[in-house]
Amino acid sequence: MANFLIYNKFLLCKSSGSEVPKVLKQLNDRLSLNGCIRRPFSFRHKENLLRSTSYLPVHHNPTEGREQGQRCRRLSASHFRHGKTPLLKPQTRTCFHPGVSGLSREHMSMGTNQPVDSKQMLEGMLTYIWPKDDPSIRNRVKLAVGLLVSAKLLNVSVPFLFKFAVDDLNTKVAASGGEAFLNFSSAPDAVLSTAVAILIGYGIARAGAAGFNELRNAVFAKVAQHSIRRIARNVFLHLHNLDLSFHLSRQTGALSKTIDRGSRGINFVLSAMVFNIVPTAFELALVSSILGLKCGAGFALLSVGCVGLYSAFTLAITQWRTKFRVFMNRAENEAGNKAIDSLINYETVKYFSNEKYEAERYDQALKKYEDASLKTSTSLALLNFGQSAIFSGAIAMAMVLAAKQIAQGNMTVGDLVMVNGLLFQLSVPLGFLGSVYREVRQALIDMQTMFTLMTQEPNIKNKEGAQILPITRDNSSIEFRNVNFSYVPGKPIFDNLSLTIPAGKKIAIVGGSGSGKSSMIRLLYRFFEPSSGEILIGGVNIKDIDLECLRKSISIVPQDSVLFHETIFYNLHYGDLSKTQEEVVEASKMADLHDAVSKWPQG
């Protein structure tokens, strides 16, 4: 491809001659008059590259006329030396221009995307939890569900085993004389052997339920981490596929935080679903069904009503007390900031003997934190008391119903123990409902930001049927044909720009800050699209060329050296990942870099 250098307002085409320094000095002198030059053209760095006596001023200012904007006039060095042709017309604009150097990010229109709702996010997550192209992950999900069901069945069987043990002891001890109701010392060995076996089974069931739960956690961990990894990778790749205009209007650190928080949010939501929400819902359905079939519909309604009231109360109080937590965190940050600011300015505080004043300011911030913390603690106490009151009332009502059934001969003492155990087991996972709800809400907010980011569509895409065009030295001519372009409406960078760069030529473009030098490169790379006109390489519109093929065919040395925080080899190899280590080393030797790097401590 033709080689060209962008500098200030002119396109310099290579020919021959040795008068570059004189002409460049005139360029510097005249460009400086416009007040837009920030540093002089360096002869030392440029004269070896630009050994030319012919130059092309690029006229694309709309005030200079359509005709001048459509063509580039070749001027000999003598014209410059003798002042026959003015290099630049005096311009009235300021140095700011919404081009590369002065890109106005806040005025760039990025479009607005509708936020993704919770249903869409959960549906999106399911595609990663149940991937069609990975049967091993699907098998893990099936195994995790099987372990979940097994754990809950064993968990529910524990109160049943306890019931059988109590009923067995009660029946056999009473049958053997009943001198002491449930008195183990007077029970025969035959009575104890059955009860002991049942109680051993009770212990095994509890241990088995815990074991299945932990095994489920271990099996599903691979699913969760694999899903998070794929989502994070897809978001990262999607960010790279978005347009340059998107990244110029965003803070890179904020995007990184979005991915980080979104990934952690997915992890928490998956954990909450697998370890809290789904198991608790399944256990509630199981317990309600058992109570309804075994003890009557009243017990089933009582359990469902208890859990419903408990959940509604917990969610309402958690929602109400969230604001206190926000105030507390804000007050804590304020107090910390005041303390750090004061200690950093320790010397200034000493100059004016304001130690007591600083302590008072810090104490005022701590007072705000104290008040907010007190409200947080008080509301937490209210939440805990309300939860305990609801469950205690439900269990008490269940015991009363069971006692009446026992008195009527419809239930045994073991049934009362079973009802108590089943309801009490439900209280354990529900105890975390408040914190899970609060964290899930925050996680969904973090996920929403990331999933909404995934809906951002790039403006520049591969055209359907784009061709893989082998770009060689012979077909690498570049043509800008009637190109119009602006970053901000009403502030054009190019107005009907037309120029041709023949294959194999070395040219340079010079111009003031914001005149569109780097914009030409960005248009050539298709980082932006012109509002009208065409850009051709080898006579082919770059819109018809595959994006990856186009960009891989262009070499560039940026004005600002950009290095990854990696090794020297990594940065050298990055330009062409197909090269071997030996080829990279050879290239570093050609650049006189290898010997210097080899002398470094870790070279």
> If pLDDT is split at 50, 70 and 90, which confidence band does 49 have?
very low
Q: Which one-letter amino acid corresponds to residue 398?
A: A
Q: Specify the pLDDT at position 270.
A: 83
Q: Specify the pLDDT at position 595.
A: 86
% of the chain surpassing 70 pLDDT: 76
Instruction: Give me the architecture of the 116-295+425-455 domain, per CATH.
Output: Up-down Bundle (1.20)
Rama region for 115: left / alpha / beta (φ>0; ψ in -120 to 50; rest): beta
Give the distance between the most distant pair of CA atoms in the chain: 132
- The candidate with the shortest Cα–Cα distance to 412, out of 153, 169, 154, 156, is 169
Q: Specify the pLDDT at position 484.
A: 93
Q: Specify the pLDDT at position 131.
A: 87
pLDDT in tens, 147-178: 988 988 888 888 888 788 887 777 766 665 55
> If pLDDT is split at 50, 70 and 90, which confidence band does 356 have?
very high
Residue with tokens 């149940």: 130
> If pLDDT is split at 50, 70 and 90, which confidence band does 23 have?
very low
Angle, helices 433-454 vs 297-344, to 10°: value is 70
Q: Is the pLDDT of residue 80 over 60?
A: no
Q: Which residue has better confidence, 326 or 585?
A: 585
> If pLDDT is split at 50, 70 and 90, which confidence band does 200 have?
confident
Find all residues with CB under 8 Å of 440, minimum gap 6, and list them. Answer: 268, 269, 272
pLDDT in tens, 235-248: 888 888 887 777 77
Q: Specify the pLDDT at position 491.
A: 86
Burial zone of 132 (CB within 10 Å; 0-12 exposed, 13-18 middle, 19+ buried): exposed
Q: Is the pLDDT of residue 364 over 70?
A: yes
Is the alpha carbon torsion for 276, 281, 283, 288 positive or negative?
positive
Alpha-carbon span 334 to 369, nearest angstrom = 9
Average pLDDT over residues 346-365: 92
Q: Which one-letter amino acid corresponds to residue 214?
A: E
Domain boundary assignment for the chain: 3-106+461-552, 116-295+425-455, 319-410, 568-598
The CB-based long-range contact list for 434-441 (8 Å cut-off, 24+ gap) reads: 434/314, 434/315, 434/317, 434/318, 434/383, 434/387, 436/272, 436/276, 436/277, 437/314, 437/315, 437/318, 438/318, 438/322, 439/268, 439/272, 440/268, 440/269, 440/272
Q: Is the pLDDT of residue 2 over 60?
A: no
pLDDT in tens, 374-432: 988 898 899 889 988 998 898 899 889 888 888 888 888 888 888 888 888 887 778 77
Q: Specify the pLDDT at position 140.
A: 92
Contact, 429 vs 280, CB < 8 A?
yes
pLDDT in tens, 304-315: 898 889 889 988
Q: Please provide the average confidence, as pLDDT, over all residues in the chain.
A: 75
Model pTM?
0.58
Q: Which residue has better confidence, 89 or 583?
A: 583
Q: Is the pLDDT of residue 69 over 60?
A: no
Q: Which residue has better confidence, 344 or 37?
A: 344
Q: Which one-letter amino acid corresponds to residue 313?
A: F
Q: Which residue has better confidence, 428 or 30?
A: 428
pLDDT in tens, 522-539: 899 898 889 999 999 988
Q: Specify the pLDDT at position 188.
A: 52
Contact, 453 vs 258, CB < 8 A?
yes
pLDDT in tens, 175-190: 655 554 444 454 455 5
Q: Specify the pLDDT at position 447.
A: 84
Pairing between β-strand 3-6 and β-strand 506-511 as defined by DSSP bridges:
parallel
- The candidate with the shortest Cα–Cα distance to 492, out of 532, 526, 459, is 532
The three-class DSSP label of residue 496 is strand
